[in-house]
Amino acid sequence: MSQRPSTLHGLGAEFPSASALLHAAEKIQSMGFRRWDVYSPFPIHGMDHAMGFKRSRVSLFSLLGGITGLSTAFALIYYTSAINYPLIVQGKPYFALEPSMPIFFELTVLLTAFGTIIGLLLLTLMPRLHHPVFNWDRFKRVTDDGFFLVLEATDPRFDPDSSRKLLTEIGGTYISEIHHDPELDPHPARPEMEPAP
């Protein structure tokens, strides 16, 4: 069935509902698959748990952004008002915490937002305009009302025949091979796949 095994990205299956996809994901996860993903028009409650995800690390980037923002604000105000050009305005101290609070707050928020968005882009590897799943014609419905599960060929437990059977057993329909576009994708799957244990 695989005339060009080197271009096989994985096997995709469609599921009728969010609930069916969640149950399928629980089974795939319990079987020890590692390189697979589910695709849905909206985030499904409980899916992170079903796929065994830990907490997203976006918050770490937000925290780094926030710390950078706060220290930038402090350095900026202190350096400009108290060191580089101390200037008496209305008899107020060169530097004090109270009037600095609004700028501390605003720059912290601003750089937290930047940190969050940078973290999101790094962790989701976006922007990535091309991906093998887009080669599957049914996949267009993922942003409408389609629920999909894709087992990737690089997973050690992947086997074209038994994985296809597995997807049918857990309720998948329209099971299809998804292929890389060799001209566009610089990282094709390994030509030799390890057999499923």
**Residue among 38, 35, 46, 31 nearest 14 (CA):** 38
2 or 124, CB closer to other proteins?
A: 124
76 or 175, CB closer to other proteins?
A: 76
Which of positions 38-77 make contact with other proteins (CB under 8 A)? 38-48, 51, 53, 55-59, 62, 76-77
Kindly state the smallest distance separating residue 2's Cβ from other proteins, in Å: 24
160 or 171, CB closer to other proteins?
A: 171
Which of positions 155-194 make contact with other proteins (CB under 8 A)? none
Q: Does 24 bind other proteins (CB under 8 A)?
A: no
Kindly state the smallest distance separating residue 46's Cβ from other proteins, in Å: 6
The encoded tokens of residue 73 equal 């604000």
Q: Does 143 bind other proteins (CB under 8 A)?
A: yes
137 or 192, CB closer to other proteins?
A: 137
* CA dist 136 → 102, 106, 129 (Å): 51, 45, 15
Rg from Cα positions in the chain: 25
Q: Does 34 bind other proteins (CB under 8 A)?
A: no
| Cβ partners under 8 Å of residue 76, min gap 6 | 103, 107
Long-range CB pairs of 74-80 (<8 Å, 24+ gap) are 74/100, 74/104, 76/103, 76/107, 77/103
Q: Which member of 92, 173, 182, 191 binds other proteins (CB under 8 A)? A: 92
